[in-house]
Amino acid sequence: MGDTALQTRPGREKPASSGGRGGKTGATAAWLVCASGKGGTTKTTTCAHLAAIAASQGMAPLLVDTDPQQSLTEWIANRRKLRAAGTDVRDLRHIYAPLAEADRAVREADVVEGVDLVIVDTPPGMDNRVQLRLLLERADLVIVPTTQSPPDTKSVLEMMAIATQLRRKAAFLIGKALPRWNSYRHAKKLLNRYGTLCPVDVRMLRDVERCYDYGLGINEAGDASGGEDFEGVWHFVRRELGC
Ligand SMILES: Nc1ncnc2c1ncn2[C@@H]1O[C@H](COP(=O)(O)OP(=O)(O)O)[C@@H](O)[C@H]1O
Ligand SMILES: [Mg+2]
């Protein structure tokens, strides 16, 4: 995609009801929670791109942003600006409630109709464990994103331990992967010891960051690199969720 203007992919979307579990509410939908306890580990990026891919495949996702920094909410706002300017991107539904009010987020999400997948983004930090636990307990799958940097991989192990203790299905995901670096190999070795590792990584790619900044899903920019990475992650997530 490079530095040229973003080109959106035309005519790619199915109607929202064609592949999903129509007639569901948030209460009966599958819940995917992205949590790592550490900032900069690609939680928000993962939520955004997976939601855009899910929607393009006919599912009806609901995004729940529990990070007071509201990066995911900002992504949604940027999407709405794109739509207002005539760009053909799906309007994704969304709820914001800070982690401290996760119980409210869950109550609100539960009553949203026509949802087959709830995708929850969480803030960095492990301070609010009661509310975090509430979200994790709700998860059908916890994705624990991390970069390959040693401080990140070490710090996300705790989230996997909590998810495992709560008997949640969980998997690490390496984002911003640089497979030629030694740290990549070390990260895989360490993460594999502590839990399931998503078999597909998301490479460090400028287009991933750029699409995100514009409010686009990686699958919505015609010439963006990284689409296949998130598609691969999405296949894994979908299989694990059984949806
Ligand atoms: N695969 C990637 N390639 C390049 N940059 C990425 C990639 N994934 C995320 N980023 C960038 O890394 C930064 C941190 O990602 P973000 O999703 O905000 O992390 P978190 O939500 O865990 O704090 C953002 O600037 C984002 O655009
Ligand atoms: Mg974030």
Cα 1 from Cα 112, distance rounded (Å): 36
Ligand 1 atom nearest 71 alpha carbon: 18
Return the residue whose CA atom lies nearest to atom 5 of ligand 1: 209
Between the CA of residue 97 and those of 73, 109, 138, 228, what are the distances in Å? Answer: 10, 10, 16, 31
Ligand 1 atom nearest 47 alpha carbon: 17
Q: Which residue from 75, 201, 218, 216 is spatially nearest to 145, judged by alpha carbons?
A: 201
Return the residue whose CA atom lies nearest to atom 15 of ligand 1: 42
Q: Which residues, judged by CB distance below 6 Å to any ligand atom, belong to the binding site of ligand 1?
A: 39-45, 71, 175-176, 202, 204-205, 208-209, 212
- What average pLDDT does this structure show over 144-158? 98
Pick from 34, 38, 42 the residue to mutate for probing ligand 1's pocket: most ligand atoms within 8 Å of its CB: 42
Pick from 36, 70, 209 the residue to mutate for probing ligand 1's pocket: most ligand atoms within 8 Å of its CB: 209
Q: Per residue in 106-138, pLDDT tens?
A: 999 999 999 999 999 999 999 899 999 999 999
Q: How confident is the model at residue 222 (pLDDT cuts 50, 70, 90)?
A: confident
- Rg, Å, the chain Cα set: 17
Ligand closest in space to the Cα of 145? 1
Q: If you average pLDDT over every residue of the chain, what do you get?
A: 91
- Assess whether pLDDT exceeds 80 at residue 9: no
- What average pLDDT does this structure show over 224-232? 92
- Quote the pLDDT of residue 223: 81
- What average pLDDT does this structure show over 203-213? 94
- Quote the pLDDT of residue 22: 54
Neighbouring CB atoms inside 10 A of 178's CB total 15
- Assess whether pLDDT exceeds 50 at residue 8: yes
- Tell me how many degrees the CA angle 185-186-187 measures, rounded to the nearest 5: 90
Q: How confident is the model at residue 18 (pLDDT cuts 50, 70, 90)?
A: very low
- What letter would DSSP give residue 1? -
Query: What predicted TM-score, i.e. pTM, was given to this entire model?
Result: 0.92
Q: How confident is the model at residue 19 (pLDDT cuts 50, 70, 90)?
A: very low
Q: How confident is the model at residue 6 (pLDDT cuts 50, 70, 90)?
A: low
- Quote the pLDDT of residue 13: 42
Q: Under CATH, which architecture does the 30-241 domain have?
A: 3-Layer(aba) Sandwich (3.40)
Q: Which residue from 88, 93, 99, 103 is spatially nearest to 24, judged by alpha carbons?
A: 93
Q: Per residue in 29-47, pLDDT tens?
A: 999 999 999 999 999 999 9
* Three-state secondary structure call for residue 59: coil
Instruction: Give the burial string for 150-171 (b: 16+ CB within 10 Å, else e).
Output: eebbebbbebbebbeeeebebb
Q: Which residue from 50, 60, 49, 62 is spatially nearest to 18, judged by alpha carbons?
A: 60
Cα 178 from Cα 241, distance rounded (Å): 28
- What average pLDDT does this structure show over 221-228? 87
Query: Could you tell me which residue, 29 or 19, shows the higher pLDDT?
Result: 29
- Written as one string, the DSSP assignment of 113-173 is BS-SEEEEE--S-SS-HHHHHHHHHH-SEEEEEE-SSHHHHHHHHHHHHHHHHTT--EEEE
- Quote the pLDDT of residue 12: 40
Which pair of structure tokens corresponds to residue 197? 């590792």
Q: Per residue in 39-92, pLDDT tens?
A: 999 999 999 999 999 999 999 999 999 999 999 999 999 999 999 999 989 989
- Quote the pLDDT of residue 70: 98
* Domain ranges, ordered by start, for the chain: 30-241
Pairing of strands 196-197, 93-96: unpaired
- Calculate how far, in angstroms, residue 35's C-alpha sits from the geometric centre of ligand 2: 9
Cα 208 from Cα 121, distance rounded (Å): 17
Q: Helix count (H) and strand count (E) of the chain?
A: 8, 7
- Assess whether pLDDT exceeds 70 at residue 216: yes
- Assess whether pLDDT exceeds 80 at residue 186: yes
Dmax over CA atoms of the chain, in Å, equals 48
